[in-house]
Structure 1
Amino acid sequence: MGLDAIVEEIRAKGKAEADRISGETYQEASKIIADAQSQAARIKAARQEAVRKEIDRMRQQELSSANLEVKRAMLNARKELLDEVYANAKDTINKFPAERNQKLLKLIIVKNEDSNTKIYSRAKDRSAVQKLTKLNYAGEIDCIGGVVIENEAGTEFLDLRYETILKNASERSLKEVSDILFR
Structure 2
Amino acid sequence: MSLDTVVADIREEAHARAEELREEAETRADEIVADAEDDAAEIRDQAEREADREIEQLREQRLSSAQLEAKQERLEARRDVLGDVREAVEEELTSLDGDTREELTRTLLSAASDEFEAGDDVRVYGRAGDQELLASIVDDYDGYEVAGEYDCLGGVVVESEGSRVRVNNTFDSVLADVWEDNLREISEQLFEQ
Query: Separation in 1 of the partners of 2:140 and 2:36?
Result: 101
Equivalences for residues 16-165 of structure 1 within 5 A: 16-116=16-116, 117-123=122-128, 124=130, 125-134=133-142, 135-153=144-162, 155-165=164-174
Q: TM-score, normalised by structure 1?
A: 0.88
Percent identity of the aligned residues? Answer: 31
Contact 2:135 2:146 in 1 (8 A): no
Query: Separation in 2 of the partners of 1:126 and 1:49?
Result: 79
Residues 12, 85 of structure 1: alpha-carbon distance in 2 compared, 3 angstrom cutoff:
same
Query: Separation in 1 of the partners of 2:136 and 2:85?
Result: 29
SS in 1 for 2:147: strand
Query: Separation in 2 of the partners of 1:131 and 1:93?
Result: 24
Aligned residues: 183
Query: Separation in 2 of the partners of 1:115 and 1:32?
Result: 99
**Structure 1 residue 28, shift from structure 2 partner:** 0.9
1:181 matches 2:190:
yes
Residues 132, 94 of structure 1: alpha-carbon distance in 2 compared, 3 angstrom cutoff:
farther
Contact 2:135 2:145 in 1 (8 A): no
Contact 2:115 2:165 in 1 (8 A): no
Query: Separation in 2 of the partners of 1:132 and 1:29?
Result: 115
Q: Which runs of 5+ in 1 are unaligned?
A: none
Residues 11, 167 of structure 1: alpha-carbon distance in 2 compared, 3 angstrom cutoff:
same
Residues 46, 170 of structure 1: alpha-carbon distance in 2 compared, 3 angstrom cutoff:
same
Please give the root-mean-square deviation of Cα atoms over the aligned residues, in Å. Answer: 2.0
The more displaced of 84-93 and 58-67 is 58-67
**Structure 1 residue 146, shift from structure 2 partner:** 0.2
